[in-house]
Each structure stands twice: as C-alpha cells, then as structure tokens.
Amino acid sequence: MADLDLAGKRVLIRQDLNVPLKKGVVADGTRIHASLPTIQAALDAGARVMIMSHLGRPTEGEYVHQYSMAPVANFLSALLNQPVRLEQNWLEPEFIPVEPGEVVLCENVRFNLGEKANDEALSRRMAKMCDVFVMDAFGTAHRAQASTHGVAKYAPIACAGPLLAGELEALGKALDNPARPLVAIVGGSKVSTKLTVLETLSKKVDQLIVGGGIANTFIAADGGNVGNSLYEADLIGTCKKLQADAQSRGGDIPVPTDVVCGKQFAENAEAETKAVADVQDDDMIFDIGPKTAEKLAEILKNAGTIVWNGPVGVFEFNQFGEGTKEIAMAIAESDAFSIAGGGDTLAAVAKYKICDDVSYISTGGGAFLEFLEGKKLPAVEILEQRAASS
C-alpha cells in the first residue's frame, strides 16, 4: 500500500474488526487498535477511506441489529478523533460519497447475500466501489469470501495493507527462517482440533511442547492414567506416532510428569498437585504441575524462536493457571523471537501482562492456525496471483 499514490483515490480497506461486544459496546478493541496504522496511513495519503469488515456470524441477506458495526464505528471514531460514518446501503448502484480525509465504515459485509459463497456479482459490485482495494484483514485471510477474495480479484488495483504484510512477515520469520532452536507450544482442549497443526509443526520445529487436554491424550498414549480428564481415546494412536516420529528425529514431545487436578470443572474446585502416577479415576487434570512447568520453562528460556498457540491449563481459574503463567513468564524472559496467536492465548498474554514482552502478537485466530498448518491463505494467494500477473 505504501508504494501507491492514494491521494484523492477511493480506497476500500478490508479489516478484521470482528471484535467481542458486551451490552452493545466493544469489549476488547485489540483488533481495532491493530488496524489503526493502516487507516491513518491512508488518511495521511489523502485517500477517500472506506472500510469493510464482518462482525460475528449473522444469517446472510438481512440486517440484524445485534451484528451491526455501529459500536465499532463509535470505537474507531474515538481512536481516530474524527467522525466515522456508518453506511448502511453501501452497495447501492450509486457510489457512496466519500471526501478525501473522510472515513466511512460499511455495515457488516455478512449482511450481504453471497458474501460467504464468494459470489462473483457481489465481489464485482464491491470492486467497482473503489480505485484501490487494500486487504488488511489477516484474521479473515483464511476465508475465500467476497470481501476478502472476490473483491481482490476484480478491483482495479489490489494490494496488501501494512497489518497483513506485518503478520505474514512475522509468521514467516518464525516458521520459514527461524533462529534455532525453534520451539512451538500447542495447548488447548483437543488433539482433534489441532491435529494438522501438530503434524505440520512437529516436522518443522526443534521442540514441540503440548499442553491442556492435548497433553492428557499424550499422557494416555504414554500409558498414564488420566482419570476423568478430557482426552481423546481414539487419538492415542496418533499421539504415539507423533511421539515416535519425534524420537526418531532424536528428540521427544515432553509428557507431563506432574499435574494439577480437581474433582469437578468449577471456579471454586479444589486443586491438588500430584505425580501423574498418582492420578485417581475421579481426578480431572486441569494444569501441568510445577516440575513439568519448570522443565518446559527451561526449554523456552534457551529457544531462538517461540511459537505459542494455546494455554497449557484451565488458566481462567487461578488455581489451575500456574502452568500457563510459568510458560508465559518464560516466554517473556526469553531472548527468543516470540509470536503468540489465538483467542485463548491472547487472553493469557493479557492476564499475565506479557504483551510488551512477546515479539509479535497475531490478530488471527483461525487464520493463525491455518498458517501454522502450512495452508495457503486464499486472500493472500489472490494478491500474489495478481502481483505475479501484473
């Protein structure tokens, strides 16, 4: 985007302003803050700025008040210190008027029929609205939809925005050309939702660390008792194979040796730290234990690059958060280039106040995971195709 002359041009920017709302107000504006430099740069260049984004997953084809971008327009307006006009009927046959220096926020793209199906006619209507289309929504780059992919195909000029470019650069630095050793921490509740990530990363990294319910399945694969914990019996064989593959490469995937258990999933559940060998049939494992956390922290402190996706315990409950806290602190103290992504991970980064100590915090959830899986992001691919053919 920086290479283009945007003065007086109609610039349509696709952002990911899909933020959580509480009682009609933005509850976490991280993604809006992250999109600000791009919007500001377009304004400074004298562009007529039109922004589009989705919010939530409304049924297509109708306006649903709950999913209106109005709270986002207010939040953005306060950050920019200038009015942000929310435009309801931005796909009218007549172009919506936008003056240079003005910011218009288009109402939720997912109110339009054909958005998710990447409908060609809808994509062409969006493309016609602008002189330049800027794809800046890393968080939605894994979706081939009209406002991310189709419009990029038909717009007179299409380019990546600074946020998208920055995300791709940081992820590329972490995964394609990393300072070694490269360590990845994959936590979360289920192996099944992160299987491709585990398989892809296990071949790339020097050390894979697993946590949360994922680690429970690895404990079971190692012959340990997981009691009443969340785990996936049908994926024990898969975990055994991942472990055997890691061992054949001369390393291993560390399996927790001690854990923190409770008898029920509740905020006031009593926490008991014990060796894995002492886990009872009515125990539920909610965190890694201190000995395991110390061992993992040691690995992290010596890393050259760290990729973090997923907490290693139920950190929302303080008594089961020590493992995730120790991991967070080890990342903060490490000299490694570190990158964190995913909703729960970012909540942990915020809870343990390490935002300023992580080298790069991704705005992507699903997109971050798909990048880790080694998948091509369709909204990036179309920009590359256009650049290659121009």
- Give the footprint of ligand 3PG on this chain (CB under 6 A): 16, 18, 57, 139-140, 143, 365-366
β-strand 25-26 against 21-22: which pairing, if any?
antiparallel
Catalytic site residue from 9, 10, 31, 153: 31
Q: Of 62, 173, 69, which Cα lies nearest the Cα of 112?
A: 62
Question: Quick one: 16 or 258, whose CB is closer to ligand 3PG?
Answer: 16
- Give the separation between CA 253 and CA 246, rounded to whole angstroms: 7
For the bound state, the minimum distance from the C-beta of residue 366 to ligand 3PG, rounded and expressed in Å, comes to 4
Is residue 316 part of an annotated ligand binding site?
yes
Q: For 317, list phi and psi in degrees, rounded to 5.
A: -100, 120
Is residue 55 part of an annotated ligand binding site?
yes
For the bound state, the minimum distance from the C-beta of residue 332 to ligand 3PG, rounded and expressed in Å, comes to 25
Catalytic site residue from 114, 227, 251, 366: 366
For the bound state, the minimum distance from the C-beta of residue 55 to ligand 3PG, rounded and expressed in Å, comes to 9
Question: Quick one: 108 or 216, whose CB is closer to ligand 3PG?
Answer: 108
Is residue 31 part of an annotated ligand binding site?
yes
Is 31 an annotated catalytic residue? yes
Please count the CA atoms within 13 angstroms of the CA of 146 that sit on its side-chain side: 25
Is residue 9 part of an annotated ligand binding site?
no
Please count the CA atoms within 13 angstroms of the CA of 65 that sit on its side-chain side: 2
Is 310 an annotated catalytic residue? no
For the bound state, the minimum distance from the C-beta of residue 57 to ligand 3PG, rounded and expressed in Å, comes to 5
For the bound state, the minimum distance from the C-beta of residue 370 to ligand 3PG, rounded and expressed in Å, comes to 10
Question: Quick one: 18 or 243, whose CB is closer to ligand 3PG?
Answer: 18
Question: Quick one: 304 or 343, whose CB is closer to ligand 3PG?
Answer: 343
Is residue 242 part of an annotated ligand binding site?
no
Is 190 an annotated catalytic residue? yes
CB of 345 closer than 8 Å to CB of 375? no
Q: Give me the residue label for tokens 């923190």.
A: 260
Q: What is the CA radius of gyration of the chain?
A: 23
Is 366 an annotated catalytic residue? yes
CB of 329 closer than 8 Å to CB of 312? no
Which tokens is 251 given? Answer: 């390393």
- Give the separation between CA 245 and CA 176, rounded to whole angstroms: 21
3-state class of 132 per DSSP? Answer: strand
Question: Quick one: 108 or 217, whose CB is closer to ligand 3PG?
Answer: 108
Which tokens is 222 given? Answer: 């190692």
Written as one string, the DSSP assignment of 258-322 is EEEEESSSSTTPPPEEEEGGG--TT-EEEEE-HHHHHHHHHHHHT-SEEEEES-SS-TTSGGG-H
Is residue 102 part of an annotated ligand binding site?
no
Is residue 76 part of an annotated ligand binding site?
no
Question: Quick one: 16 or 107, whose CB is closer to ligand 3PG?
Answer: 16
CB of 184 closer than 8 Å to CB of 208? yes
Which tokens is 127 given? Answer: 């493309």
For the bound state, the minimum distance from the C-beta of residue 85 to ligand 3PG, rounded and expressed in Å, comes to 23
For the annotated binding site for ATP, the residues are: 194, 316, 342-345
For the annotated binding site for substrate, the residues are: 16-18, 31, 54-57, 110, 143
For the annotated binding site for (2R)-3-phosphoglycerate, the residues are: 31, 110, 143
For the annotated binding site, the residues are: 16-18, 31, 54-57, 110, 143, 194, 316, 342-345
Q: Which residues are the active-site residues?
A: 31, 190, 343, 366
